[in-house]
Amino acid sequence: MLVPVLLFIVGLLFLIKGGDWFVDGASALARRFHLPELLIGATVVSIGTTLPEVMVSTMSAVSGHGEIAYGNAIGSVICNSALIAAITIAVRPGKVDPKTLRVPVAFFFAAAAIYCVAAYAMGEFTRPLGFVMLAMFVAYMVANVLQMKKAPAAAEAEAEAENAGEEMSLTKTLVLLVLGAVLIALGANLLVDNGTLIAQALGVPESVIALTFVALGTSLPELVTAITSLVKGCSDLSLGNIVGANVFNLVLVSGMSVTLAPFTVPQSSTLFGINSSLVLEIPVMLAVMMIMTLPALKRGKLSRAQGIILLCIYAAFCAIQFTM
């Protein structure tokens, strides 16, 4: 037990330093190309912080553990929205540009609709469905690139003011992004692998581990990025990262897993005599994303009450998981 605990701590240190470098690099990239931090967060930062989910879910599906791949994707969205975003919103609520947020939110709910069809109507995730999800990932990236082309003109004045100080070189920016992403991925893997060993030693079921512990472990990069962004005053970067990461969890993480190894909707527990995934996990996933994004799209700002409500939902969700 001592070795897993030590490796768990090493993973945590990797995550902290990796998150620091990654946020610095992403912020410098946004300033250099006169792009809104929300947009950079929804693309570049999201790809980096979603790497652990991609690796964990793909390896789980290929090795025949579809329930971990499935639970990790849904659990990560819930964790990102109801814990990580909730902390960001509760600590520093502020204004949000609805135009920049519109594309990732639209793609998330489109992907969620496909997810619901597979879960409720088909009862399985087939390879063709995996191709559809990956095609949505490509479309999402194209949509963001097109949005980025329009962003410089709108953000030029603000970006010039931000660039009044010394600008980080492009080489250093890219090095920070790459090294930060690598440390985040390594740190998350160490935490997930060794955290799962610790959880299993304590007798926690695999399905609960996937929806809570593994989901939290693979979402730690988003948590580290969120906290680092708050400390550095880049809350837009954090929100964009979380929304973008949620899109990637459904279209990239699930898409890769399903394409390589299709699986049926797992049933590890029931609620009211029905598969708990259909009456608890998926509805909670949709609910927390609505609470996080719809008020921001309508009013253009976030409120501390949203963060508190989301945190309460996450606490209740975890409590139910461990009592079923």
Query: In this structure, which long-range contacts are made by residues 290-296, counting pairs with CB atoms below 8 Å and at least 24 apart in sequence?
Result: 291/81, 292/81, 292/85, 292/86, 292/89, 292/242, 292/243, 293/101, 293/105, 293/108, 293/243, 296/96, 296/98, 296/101, 296/239
Mean pLDDT to the nearest integer, 174-198: 78
Q: What residues make up the domain containing 80?
A: 2-323
- Count of structural domains, the chain: 1
DSSP letter assigned to residue 160? H
Nearest CA to 86 out of 247, 309, 245 is that of 309
| Beta-ladder partners of 271 | 274
Mean pLDDT to the nearest integer, 67-81: 81
Tens digits of per-residue pLDDT, 256-299? 888 888 888 877 666 777 777 788 889 999 999 999 998 888 88
Phi first, then psi: what are they for 172, rounded to 5°?
-65, -40
> What are the tokens at 286?
């949709």
**Global model pTM greater than 0.75:** no
Domain holding 217: CATH number? 1.20.1420.30
Q: CA–CA distance from 124 to each of 1, 66, 67, 262, 279 (Å)?
A: 37, 11, 12, 8, 16
DSSP string, 97-108: -HHHHHHHHHHH
